[in-house]
Structure 1
């Protein structure tokens, strides 16, 4: 049976309440000040791979959209990350965070040292958006519904617990608090409008679950490599690699 609009929105929000990666213990460790510098740097390096892939995901989506109205609404997402006149963009802001934690931004931008599981999960998300229905692609983006809370908690926790944290280094998160609401409002309304059968609602819900799995798996990989048991896989970043010259250890 097809759920009402209100019922289906509640189902989507419940998925986030149960599965969003704000529940992962790595975020408790990070936001509570429990990460050492190496763990923070590993997080910045691996999260960058996700950040830099988002515009490619959105470009793949737009290449399949025939509606000019939908393309117009969606293209601001690319500009938010890549930048535009008067907006340096989220990718550049993330590299400023990398520099603040002592990493060479060129090293981070090269995507060398990214965990294999991070690469696999993020590439799977880009491929998912490229190959699945438009409804599933948009529904997968709805993790944005739950992001403002984690961004606010992150800003508060990092400012409280880490010397690198200031308005400049954390500008990615503060800007997402301003940018994300428009994306959330549009994406949620689009999904609710187009998931008009029980089958489509099921597909959209599974797409959102898939995306939460993508985010969660990245943190699982980070935890295993840099927290417990601390087993760094071949080719992944090792502490003291990719640092700014002033930070390098002889």
Structure 2
């Protein structure tokens, strides 16, 4: 006999509980970053490897977009691709991350080449892209709910960089500033969809599992960077 579905409030609480305990803001590497304990080389290594994740965000969003069946949903989701790719050259989150790399002393050609990306990072990112490619729309959208916790992380990160890493040009922090507002909007839209779509217990548990998997992706990525 199938278990009774959680109420919407119970389901949302279970979703939020996943990143509360497993989001990568708790990872030792991020804790050291925010405490000002990383070297310039460690910051650069993180920027380079995290860019491999950043450049795949519009790819995974395009895979999700292809699964959405209505004009309204596609119109809403396509904004995420535009936020990262930009509407024209020189705009968007990927461009802002490249500028972060330049502010830290990295050549954008190196970032774009993918040279130096760690195998563990490649595997983690590939796993997330494959979830969005092969999973249900519910699972793919639920995995994006790590954005619920992104705005607070971005505020902490901005403060840490301004306080501890003054060698990095402050203009390079624009990516983090932009994600405070975008992350709040993205997570609000995604949460509404997940709560609407997951009506039975099996779907609710699949959504929670997908979000937990995404938390694992972000954690494993930092594991690779931290142990390099």
Please, what TM-score do these two structures have when normalized by structure 2?
0.96
Shift of 1:62: 1.2
Paired residues, number: 225
- Of 37, 42, 49, 1:34 maps to 37
Match of 1:164 in 2: 167
Q: Which runs of 4+ in 1 moved over 6 A?
A: none
User: What is the match of residue 208 of structure 2?
Assistant: 205
The CA RMSD over aligned residues, in Å, is: 1.2
Cα offset, 1:164, TM superposition:
3.4
CA offset digits 1:7-52 (Å, max 9, x no partner): 1101111111110000001011111111111100000000000000
Give the CA deviation at 1:84: 1.1
Partner in structure 1 of residue 182 of structure 2 = 179
Pairwise CA distance, 1:167: 4.0
Looking at structure 2, the residues matched to 78 and 114 of structure 1 have their Cα atoms a distance apart, in angstroms, of 23
Which of 174, 190, 194 is the matching residue for 1:191? 194
Cα offset for 1:165?
A: 3.9
Whether the 8 Å CA contact 2:11–2:204 is kept in 1: the answer is: yes
Give yes or no for the alignment of 1:105 onto 2:101: no
Residues 1:150 and 2:153 aligned together: yes
TM-aligned CA distance change 1:86 to 1:123, over 3 Å: closer
**CA distance in 1 between partners of 2:192 and 2:137 (Å):** 14
State the SS of the aligned residue for 1:173: helix
Kept after mapping to 1: 8 A contact 2:22/2:212: yes
Higher helix share: 2
What does residue 136 of structure 1 align with? 139
Q: Which runs of 5+ in 2 are unaligned?
A: none
* 2:14 is equivalent to residue 3 of structure 1: no
Q: Secondary structure at the match of 1:65?
A: coil
